[in-house]
Amino acid sequence: MAAGDWGDIYKELGATPVINAIGSVTMLGGSTPVPEVKEAMERADGPYIPLMHLQEKAGEAIAKMADVPAAYITSGAGSALTLATAAVMAGDDDDKIQQLPDTTGMKDEILIQTRQRYWYDRCLQLAGARLVEFGDKDGTTREDLEKAIGPRTAAVHFYAVEQEPDAKALPLEDIIEIAHAHDVPVLVDSAGQIYPLDVFGKHVRMGADFQCIAAKYMGAPQSTGLALGTKDMIRKLGLQSFASYEGRRIRGVGRPHKVDRQEMIGAVAAVRRWMTMNHEERLAQAEGQCGAIMAPLAGVPGVTVQRIDNVVGHMPYGVVLRVDQEATGMSLTDVVDRLKAGDPPIWTRVRDGEDFIAIHVFGLSEGEDRIVGERIAALFG
Ligand SMILES: *Cc1c(COP(=O)(O)O)cnc(C)c1O
Protein backbone atom coordinates (compact mmCIF):
# COMPACT_ATOMS: atom_id res chain seq x y z
CA MET A 1 0.00 0.00 0.00
CA ALA A 2 1.41 3.40 -0.98
CA ALA A 3 1.92 5.98 1.72
CA GLY A 4 -0.63 8.70 2.28
CA ASP A 5 -4.27 8.94 3.22
CA TRP A 6 -7.05 6.85 1.78
CA GLY A 7 -7.88 7.96 -1.75
CA ASP A 8 -5.14 10.63 -2.01
CA ILE A 9 -4.29 9.79 -5.58
CA TYR A 10 -7.88 10.56 -6.58
CA LYS A 11 -8.33 13.56 -4.34
CA GLU A 12 -5.24 15.22 -5.85
CA LEU A 13 -7.28 15.43 -9.06
CA GLY A 14 -10.29 16.83 -7.29
CA ALA A 15 -12.01 13.47 -7.77
CA THR A 16 -13.92 11.88 -4.91
CA PRO A 17 -13.33 8.18 -4.17
CA VAL A 18 -16.11 6.15 -2.59
CA ILE A 19 -16.61 3.06 -0.45
CA ASN A 20 -18.10 0.45 -2.73
CA ALA A 21 -20.81 -1.50 -0.91
CA ILE A 22 -22.57 -2.54 -4.13
CA GLY A 23 -20.16 -5.23 -5.29
CA SER A 24 -18.44 -5.80 -8.60
CA VAL A 25 -19.94 -3.06 -10.74
CA THR A 26 -18.16 -1.65 -13.75
CA MET A 27 -19.35 1.88 -12.98
CA LEU A 28 -17.32 2.01 -9.74
CA GLY A 29 -14.24 0.19 -10.97
CA GLY A 30 -15.35 -3.43 -11.15
CA SER A 31 -12.32 -5.13 -9.66
CA THR A 32 -9.16 -4.73 -7.64
CA PRO A 33 -6.38 -6.78 -9.25
CA VAL A 34 -5.01 -9.15 -6.60
CA PRO A 35 -1.29 -9.18 -5.67
CA GLU A 36 -0.57 -12.33 -7.74
CA VAL A 37 -2.02 -10.60 -10.80
CA LYS A 38 -0.19 -7.31 -10.22
CA GLU A 39 3.09 -9.12 -9.78
CA ALA A 40 2.60 -11.09 -13.00
CA MET A 41 1.68 -7.91 -14.87
CA GLU A 42 4.81 -6.20 -13.63
CA ARG A 43 6.96 -9.10 -14.79
CA ALA A 44 5.39 -8.75 -18.24
CA ASP A 45 6.55 -5.15 -18.52
CA GLY A 46 10.10 -5.48 -19.88
CA PRO A 47 9.93 -7.38 -23.17
CA TYR A 48 7.60 -6.68 -26.05
CA ILE A 49 5.99 -9.72 -27.69
CA PRO A 50 3.91 -10.32 -30.84
CA LEU A 51 0.39 -10.22 -29.48
CA MET A 52 -1.13 -12.81 -31.84
CA HIS A 53 1.50 -15.20 -30.54
CA LEU A 54 0.92 -14.28 -26.90
CA GLN A 55 -2.85 -14.61 -27.36
CA GLU A 56 -2.33 -18.13 -28.65
CA LYS A 57 -0.09 -19.20 -25.76
CA ALA A 58 -2.14 -17.44 -23.07
CA GLY A 59 -5.29 -18.93 -24.58
CA GLU A 60 -3.79 -22.43 -24.46
CA ALA A 61 -2.87 -22.00 -20.80
CA ILE A 62 -6.34 -20.78 -19.87
CA ALA A 63 -8.07 -23.46 -21.93
CA LYS A 64 -6.08 -26.13 -20.12
CA MET A 65 -6.93 -24.75 -16.69
CA ALA A 66 -10.61 -24.31 -17.60
CA ASP A 67 -10.79 -27.77 -19.20
CA VAL A 68 -12.17 -26.48 -22.51
CA PRO A 69 -10.72 -26.88 -26.02
CA ALA A 70 -9.73 -23.24 -26.57
CA ALA A 71 -9.71 -19.78 -25.00
CA TYR A 72 -9.00 -16.17 -25.94
CA ILE A 73 -8.47 -13.09 -23.78
CA THR A 74 -10.74 -10.19 -24.63
CA SER A 75 -11.33 -6.64 -23.53
CA GLY A 76 -13.97 -7.76 -21.01
CA ALA A 77 -16.77 -10.27 -21.35
CA GLY A 78 -18.73 -7.65 -23.26
CA SER A 79 -16.06 -7.63 -25.95
CA ALA A 80 -16.08 -11.43 -26.04
CA LEU A 81 -19.82 -11.30 -26.82
CA THR A 82 -19.32 -8.82 -29.66
CA LEU A 83 -16.37 -10.71 -31.15
CA ALA A 84 -18.30 -14.00 -30.92
CA THR A 85 -21.20 -12.59 -32.92
CA ALA A 86 -18.76 -11.25 -35.51
CA ALA A 87 -17.14 -14.69 -35.67
CA VAL A 88 -20.43 -16.53 -36.26
CA MET A 89 -21.40 -14.07 -39.00
CA ALA A 90 -18.11 -13.74 -40.90
CA GLY A 91 -16.36 -17.01 -40.05
CA ASP A 92 -12.89 -17.04 -41.56
CA ASP A 93 -13.82 -15.15 -44.72
CA ASP A 94 -11.51 -12.14 -44.74
CA ASP A 95 -13.81 -10.14 -47.02
CA LYS A 96 -16.71 -10.63 -44.66
CA ILE A 97 -14.50 -9.88 -41.65
CA GLN A 98 -13.66 -6.51 -43.24
CA GLN A 99 -17.26 -5.84 -44.25
CA LEU A 100 -18.81 -5.95 -40.77
CA PRO A 101 -20.82 -4.29 -39.27
CA ASP A 102 -22.48 -4.29 -42.71
CA THR A 103 -23.98 -7.80 -42.72
CA THR A 104 -25.21 -7.87 -46.33
CA GLY A 105 -24.98 -11.44 -47.59
CA MET A 106 -24.35 -12.94 -44.13
CA LYS A 107 -26.48 -14.76 -41.63
CA ASP A 108 -26.96 -12.02 -39.07
CA GLU A 109 -29.70 -13.01 -36.65
CA ILE A 110 -28.89 -13.90 -33.05
CA LEU A 111 -31.83 -15.66 -31.44
CA ILE A 112 -32.52 -14.82 -27.80
CA GLN A 113 -35.34 -15.86 -25.49
CA THR A 114 -37.78 -13.04 -24.76
CA ARG A 115 -37.41 -13.97 -21.08
CA GLN A 116 -33.65 -13.62 -21.32
CA ARG A 117 -33.38 -10.11 -22.70
CA TYR A 118 -30.81 -8.46 -20.42
CA TRP A 119 -28.53 -5.50 -19.92
CA TYR A 120 -25.57 -6.89 -21.90
CA ASP A 121 -27.49 -8.16 -24.94
CA ARG A 122 -26.60 -4.85 -26.61
CA CYS A 123 -23.05 -6.26 -26.91
CA LEU A 124 -24.49 -8.90 -29.26
CA GLN A 125 -25.59 -6.19 -31.71
CA LEU A 126 -22.44 -4.08 -31.93
CA ALA A 127 -20.84 -6.06 -34.77
CA GLY A 128 -23.98 -5.62 -36.86
CA ALA A 129 -26.09 -8.59 -35.79
CA ARG A 130 -29.80 -8.30 -35.10
CA LEU A 131 -31.46 -9.79 -32.04
CA VAL A 132 -34.53 -11.90 -32.79
CA GLU A 133 -36.64 -13.00 -29.84
CA PHE A 134 -38.24 -16.39 -29.40
CA GLY A 135 -40.73 -17.53 -26.80
CA ASP A 136 -42.53 -14.88 -24.78
CA LYS A 137 -42.59 -13.31 -21.34
CA ASP A 138 -44.35 -16.35 -19.88
CA GLY A 139 -41.90 -18.93 -21.11
CA THR A 140 -40.16 -20.64 -24.00
CA THR A 141 -40.80 -24.04 -25.55
CA ARG A 142 -38.69 -26.23 -27.80
CA GLU A 143 -41.17 -25.48 -30.58
CA ASP A 144 -40.57 -21.75 -30.15
CA LEU A 145 -36.91 -22.29 -30.92
CA GLU A 146 -37.58 -24.73 -33.78
CA LYS A 147 -39.86 -22.14 -35.38
CA ALA A 148 -37.42 -19.27 -34.87
CA ILE A 149 -34.45 -20.91 -36.59
CA GLY A 150 -34.31 -19.85 -40.22
CA PRO A 151 -31.93 -19.17 -43.11
CA ARG A 152 -30.61 -15.98 -41.48
CA THR A 153 -29.93 -17.49 -38.04
CA ALA A 154 -26.28 -16.96 -37.12
CA ALA A 155 -26.43 -18.27 -33.53
CA VAL A 156 -28.64 -18.85 -30.52
CA HIS A 157 -27.69 -16.97 -27.37
CA PHE A 158 -28.21 -18.17 -23.79
CA TYR A 159 -27.78 -16.20 -20.57
CA ALA A 160 -26.64 -18.54 -17.78
CA VAL A 161 -27.40 -17.67 -14.15
CA GLU A 162 -26.80 -20.81 -12.12
CA GLN A 163 -27.47 -19.08 -8.81
CA GLU A 164 -31.00 -18.09 -9.90
CA PRO A 165 -32.09 -20.55 -12.61
CA ASP A 166 -35.17 -19.46 -14.55
CA ALA A 167 -37.55 -22.44 -14.62
CA LYS A 168 -39.61 -20.92 -17.44
CA ALA A 169 -36.70 -20.36 -19.79
CA LEU A 170 -35.73 -23.05 -22.28
CA PRO A 171 -32.72 -24.81 -20.73
CA LEU A 172 -29.32 -24.74 -22.36
CA GLU A 173 -29.42 -28.53 -22.95
CA ASP A 174 -32.44 -28.14 -25.24
CA ILE A 175 -30.95 -25.14 -26.98
CA ILE A 176 -27.73 -26.99 -27.77
CA GLU A 177 -29.62 -30.03 -29.03
CA ILE A 178 -31.99 -28.08 -31.26
CA ALA A 179 -29.52 -25.49 -32.54
CA HIS A 180 -26.87 -28.08 -33.38
CA ALA A 181 -29.42 -30.23 -35.21
CA HIS A 182 -29.74 -27.20 -37.51
CA ASP A 183 -25.97 -26.57 -37.63
CA VAL A 184 -26.44 -23.34 -35.68
CA PRO A 185 -23.81 -22.42 -33.06
CA VAL A 186 -24.71 -21.65 -29.44
CA LEU A 187 -23.29 -18.70 -27.52
CA VAL A 188 -23.52 -18.47 -23.71
CA ASP A 189 -23.02 -15.52 -21.41
CA SER A 190 -21.53 -17.17 -18.31
CA ALA A 191 -19.80 -14.00 -17.14
CA GLY A 192 -20.25 -14.63 -13.43
CA GLN A 193 -20.26 -18.43 -13.52
CA ILE A 194 -16.92 -19.03 -11.86
CA TYR A 195 -17.77 -20.93 -8.66
CA PRO A 196 -18.02 -23.77 -7.70
CA LEU A 197 -15.04 -24.52 -9.90
CA ASP A 198 -16.83 -27.21 -11.90
CA VAL A 199 -19.10 -24.50 -13.34
CA PHE A 200 -16.06 -22.72 -14.84
CA GLY A 201 -16.10 -23.70 -18.52
CA LYS A 202 -19.10 -25.97 -17.94
CA HIS A 203 -21.23 -24.55 -20.73
CA VAL A 204 -18.63 -25.30 -23.37
CA ARG A 205 -18.18 -28.78 -21.93
CA MET A 206 -21.96 -29.20 -22.23
CA GLY A 207 -21.62 -28.53 -25.94
CA ALA A 208 -22.00 -24.77 -26.37
CA ASP A 209 -19.64 -23.35 -29.00
CA PHE A 210 -18.73 -20.34 -26.88
CA GLN A 211 -19.08 -18.93 -23.42
CA CYS A 212 -17.70 -15.73 -21.99
CA ILE A 213 -16.41 -15.14 -18.48
CA ALA A 214 -15.75 -11.75 -16.93
CA ALA A 215 -12.24 -11.73 -15.48
CA LYS A 216 -13.25 -8.76 -13.33
CA TYR A 217 -14.85 -11.25 -10.98
CA MET A 218 -11.58 -13.12 -10.41
CA GLY A 219 -9.14 -10.41 -9.40
CA ALA A 220 -7.97 -9.57 -12.92
CA PRO A 221 -8.18 -6.02 -14.29
CA GLN A 222 -11.83 -5.33 -15.02
CA SER A 223 -10.83 -4.53 -18.59
CA THR A 224 -10.17 -8.23 -19.30
CA GLY A 225 -12.49 -11.09 -20.12
CA LEU A 226 -12.34 -14.63 -21.39
CA ALA A 227 -13.84 -16.27 -24.44
CA LEU A 228 -13.93 -20.05 -23.99
CA GLY A 229 -15.06 -22.36 -26.73
CA THR A 230 -14.41 -24.91 -29.42
CA LYS A 231 -11.15 -24.62 -31.32
CA ASP A 232 -13.02 -23.56 -34.47
CA MET A 233 -15.06 -20.88 -32.72
CA ILE A 234 -12.12 -19.39 -30.83
CA ARG A 235 -9.93 -19.37 -33.96
CA LYS A 236 -12.62 -17.38 -35.80
CA LEU A 237 -13.12 -15.09 -32.83
CA GLY A 238 -9.39 -14.37 -32.79
CA LEU A 239 -9.55 -13.26 -36.43
CA GLN A 240 -11.85 -10.44 -35.29
CA SER A 241 -9.51 -9.13 -32.61
CA PHE A 242 -7.33 -6.03 -32.48
CA ALA A 243 -4.27 -8.31 -32.51
CA SER A 244 -5.35 -9.81 -35.85
CA TYR A 245 -6.27 -6.39 -37.24
CA GLU A 246 -2.63 -5.33 -36.82
CA GLY A 247 -0.92 -8.72 -37.06
CA ARG A 248 -2.73 -9.99 -40.16
CA ARG A 249 -3.54 -6.59 -41.70
CA ILE A 250 -7.18 -7.71 -41.88
CA ARG A 251 -9.39 -5.09 -40.35
CA GLY A 252 -11.93 -6.75 -38.05
CA VAL A 253 -14.43 -5.00 -35.78
CA GLY A 254 -12.36 -5.79 -32.69
CA ARG A 255 -9.73 -3.10 -33.32
CA PRO A 256 -10.98 -0.80 -30.53
CA HIS A 257 -11.12 -3.70 -28.03
CA LYS A 258 -7.47 -3.57 -27.00
CA VAL A 259 -5.88 -5.67 -24.26
CA ASP A 260 -2.37 -4.93 -22.93
CA ARG A 261 0.18 -7.70 -22.94
CA GLN A 262 0.45 -7.10 -19.20
CA GLU A 263 -3.31 -7.60 -18.90
CA MET A 264 -3.10 -10.86 -20.87
CA ILE A 265 -0.48 -12.14 -18.45
CA GLY A 266 -2.60 -10.81 -15.58
CA ALA A 267 -5.65 -12.70 -16.83
CA VAL A 268 -3.67 -15.95 -16.96
CA ALA A 269 -2.42 -15.33 -13.42
CA ALA A 270 -5.97 -14.59 -12.26
CA VAL A 271 -7.30 -17.87 -13.66
CA ARG A 272 -4.36 -19.81 -12.20
CA ARG A 273 -4.95 -18.28 -8.77
CA TRP A 274 -8.68 -18.91 -8.99
CA MET A 275 -8.19 -22.58 -9.87
CA THR A 276 -5.70 -23.21 -7.07
CA MET A 277 -6.70 -20.87 -4.24
CA ASN A 278 -8.33 -21.85 -0.97
CA HIS A 279 -11.99 -21.07 -1.67
CA GLU A 280 -13.07 -22.11 1.82
CA GLU A 281 -10.94 -19.27 3.12
CA ARG A 282 -12.29 -16.83 0.53
CA LEU A 283 -15.88 -17.72 1.46
CA ALA A 284 -15.21 -17.60 5.19
CA GLN A 285 -13.76 -14.13 4.78
CA ALA A 286 -16.79 -12.88 2.84
CA GLU A 287 -19.07 -14.38 5.48
CA GLY A 288 -17.10 -12.63 8.20
CA GLN A 289 -17.30 -9.30 6.38
CA CYS A 290 -21.08 -9.66 6.20
CA GLY A 291 -21.11 -10.23 9.94
CA ALA A 292 -19.13 -7.03 10.43
CA ILE A 293 -21.68 -5.06 8.38
CA MET A 294 -24.62 -6.56 10.27
CA ALA A 295 -23.29 -6.24 13.83
CA PRO A 296 -23.87 -2.48 14.29
CA LEU A 297 -27.37 -2.86 12.81
CA ALA A 298 -28.63 -5.45 15.27
CA GLY A 299 -31.59 -4.06 17.19
CA VAL A 300 -31.88 -0.80 15.23
CA PRO A 301 -35.67 -0.17 15.20
CA GLY A 302 -37.29 -0.34 11.75
CA VAL A 303 -34.22 -1.90 10.15
CA THR A 304 -33.80 -5.57 9.36
CA VAL A 305 -30.72 -7.26 7.98
CA GLN A 306 -30.36 -10.76 6.70
CA ARG A 307 -27.36 -12.58 5.32
CA ILE A 308 -27.65 -13.92 1.79
CA ASP A 309 -26.52 -17.53 1.91
CA ASN A 310 -25.51 -17.97 -1.72
CA VAL A 311 -21.93 -19.00 -2.48
CA VAL A 312 -22.47 -19.83 -6.17
CA GLY A 313 -21.12 -17.45 -8.79
CA HIS A 314 -18.93 -14.41 -8.36
CA MET A 315 -20.30 -12.64 -5.27
CA PRO A 316 -20.69 -14.95 -2.27
CA TYR A 317 -22.94 -14.00 0.64
CA GLY A 318 -24.03 -10.37 1.02
CA VAL A 319 -26.48 -8.57 3.26
CA VAL A 320 -30.10 -7.74 2.52
CA LEU A 321 -31.13 -4.51 4.20
CA ARG A 322 -34.81 -3.72 4.65
CA VAL A 323 -36.23 -0.52 6.10
CA ASP A 324 -39.70 0.03 7.53
CA GLN A 325 -40.51 3.36 5.95
CA GLU A 326 -43.48 4.07 8.22
CA ALA A 327 -41.53 3.46 11.41
CA THR A 328 -38.37 5.26 10.33
CA GLY A 329 -39.64 7.94 7.95
CA MET A 330 -36.94 6.89 5.54
CA SER A 331 -37.27 5.16 2.19
CA LEU A 332 -34.62 2.93 0.66
CA THR A 333 -33.79 5.68 -1.80
CA ASP A 334 -33.27 8.06 1.12
CA VAL A 335 -30.83 5.58 2.63
CA VAL A 336 -28.91 5.29 -0.65
CA ASP A 337 -28.83 9.07 -1.10
CA ARG A 338 -27.74 9.82 2.47
CA LEU A 339 -24.96 7.24 2.39
CA LYS A 340 -23.75 8.74 -0.86
CA ALA A 341 -23.82 12.24 0.63
CA GLY A 342 -21.59 11.21 3.55
CA ASP A 343 -17.82 11.46 3.86
CA PRO A 344 -16.45 9.31 2.40
CA PRO A 345 -19.45 8.55 0.20
CA ILE A 346 -20.75 4.99 0.51
CA TRP A 347 -22.39 3.64 -2.64
CA THR A 348 -25.30 1.20 -2.36
CA ARG A 349 -28.23 0.63 -4.67
CA VAL A 350 -31.81 -0.56 -4.97
CA ARG A 351 -32.22 -2.61 -8.09
CA ASP A 352 -35.33 -2.28 -10.25
CA GLY A 353 -38.21 -4.22 -8.81
CA GLU A 354 -36.51 -4.95 -5.47
CA ASP A 355 -37.71 -3.73 -2.07
CA PHE A 356 -34.34 -4.03 -0.36
CA ILE A 357 -30.74 -2.93 -0.62
CA ALA A 358 -28.34 -5.80 -1.35
CA ILE A 359 -24.91 -5.03 0.04
CA HIS A 360 -21.96 -7.04 -1.26
CA VAL A 361 -18.48 -7.21 0.23
CA PHE A 362 -16.66 -7.71 -3.11
CA GLY A 363 -15.38 -4.12 -3.20
CA LEU A 364 -14.88 -3.54 0.53
CA SER A 365 -11.33 -3.28 1.87
CA GLU A 366 -10.42 -4.33 5.37
CA GLY A 367 -12.32 -2.32 7.96
CA GLU A 368 -14.73 -0.81 5.44
CA ASP A 369 -17.33 -3.50 6.24
CA ARG A 370 -17.69 -2.23 9.80
CA ILE A 371 -17.78 1.40 8.58
CA VAL A 372 -20.66 0.57 6.25
CA GLY A 373 -22.65 -1.02 9.08
CA GLU A 374 -21.96 1.87 11.44
CA ARG A 375 -22.80 4.55 8.91
CA ILE A 376 -26.11 2.88 8.12
CA ALA A 377 -26.90 2.53 11.84
CA ALA A 378 -26.08 6.22 12.34
CA LEU A 379 -28.74 7.22 9.77
CA PHE A 380 -31.35 5.88 12.16
CA GLY A 381 -30.14 7.87 15.12
C1 LIG B 1 -20.09 -8.04 -16.08
C2 LIG B 1 -20.91 -8.82 -17.07
C3 LIG B 1 -20.76 -8.67 -18.45
C4 LIG B 1 -19.77 -7.71 -19.04
O5 LIG B 1 -18.49 -8.08 -18.70
P6 LIG B 1 -17.28 -7.03 -18.84
O7 LIG B 1 -16.07 -7.85 -18.54
O8 LIG B 1 -17.55 -5.95 -17.85
O9 LIG B 1 -17.33 -6.53 -20.25
C10 LIG B 1 -21.53 -9.41 -19.29
N11 LIG B 1 -22.45 -10.27 -18.83
C12 LIG B 1 -22.67 -10.45 -17.51
C13 LIG B 1 -23.70 -11.42 -17.04
C14 LIG B 1 -21.90 -9.72 -16.59
O15 LIG B 1 -22.11 -9.90 -15.27
pLDDT surpasses 60 at 2: no
199-228: pLDDT as tens digits: 999 999 999 999 999 999 999 999 999 999
pLDDT surpasses 90 at 1: no
What does DSSP say about strands 346-347 and 19-20: parallel, antiparallel, or unpaired?
parallel
* Ligand 1 center from residue 188 Cα (angstroms): 12
| Residue from 22, 25, 26 whose mutation best tests the ligand 1 pocket (most atoms within 8 A of CB) | 26
Beta-carbon-side half-sphere exposure of residue 335 (alpha carbons within 13 Å): 29
244-270: pLDDT as tens digits: 999 999 999 999 999 999 999 999 999
pLDDT of residue 164: 86
Length of the chain as a residue count: 381
pLDDT of residue 162: 86
18-30: pLDDT as tens digits: 999 999 999 999 9
* Ligand 1 center from residue 76 Cα (angstroms): 7
Q: Residues enclosing ligand 1, CB less than 6 A?
A: 26, 76-78, 120, 189, 191-192, 214, 216, 225
76-103: pLDDT as tens digits: 999 999 999 999 999 999 999 999 999 9
Q: CATH 3.40.640.10 in the chain, residues?
A: 35-276
| Residue from 126, 216, 315, 351 whose mutation best tests the ligand 1 pocket (most atoms within 8 A of CB) | 216
Q: CATH 3.90.1150.180 in the chain, residues?
A: 3-30+278-379
pLDDT of residue 200: 95
330-364: pLDDT as tens digits: 999 999 999 999 999 999 999 999 999 999 999 99
**Mean per-residue pLDDT over the chain, rounded:** 97
Judge contact between 140 and 168, C-beta under 8 A.
yes
CATH number listed for the domain at residues 3-30+278-379: 3.90.1150.180
Residues 6+ apart with CB under 8 A from 219: 31, 32, 33, 34, 36, 37, 270, 273, 274
CATH number listed for the domain at residues 35-276: 3.40.640.10
pLDDT of residue 4: 78
As a whole-number percent, the residues of the chain with pLDDT over 90 amount to: 97
* Ligand 1 center from residue 296 Cα (angstroms): 33
Cα torsion 95, 101, 107, 112 to 10°: value is 150
Phi/psi at 195 (5° precision):
-150, 140
* Ligand 1 center from residue 189 Cα (angstroms): 8
Q: Where are the alpha helices (DSSP H) in 198-309?
A: 202-205, 231-239, 242-247, 261-276, 279-294
User: What is Dmax (Cα atoms) for the chain?
Assistant: 67
pLDDT of residue 225: 98
**Secondary structure (3-state) at 9:** helix
160-207: pLDDT as tens digits: 998 888 999 999 999 999 999 999 999 999 999 999 999 999 999 999
* Ligand 1 center from residue 224 Cα (angstroms): 10
Q: Which atom of ligand 1 is nearest to the CA of 222?
A: 7
Q: What span, in angstroms and rounded, lies between the C-alpha atoms of 337 and 61?
A: 45
pLDDT surpasses 60 at 104: yes
Is the overall model pTM greater than 0.95, yes or no? yes
Burial of 155 (0-12, 13-18, 19+ CB in 10 A): buried
Q: Which atom of ligand 1 is nearest to the CA of 76?
A: 7
| Residue from 79, 120, 271 whose mutation best tests the ligand 1 pocket (most atoms within 8 A of CB) | 120
Residue closest via CA to ligand 1's atom 8 equals 76
Question: How would residue 66 be classed by pLDDT, with cut points 50, 70 and 90?
Answer: very high
pLDDT surpasses 80 at 146: yes
- Give the mean model confidence (pLDDT) for residues 107-113: 98
Residue closest via CA to ligand 1's atom 2 equals 191
pLDDT of residue 136: 97
Other Cβ atoms within 10 Å of 369 Cβ, number = 24
Distance of alpha carbon 80 from the chain centroid: 11
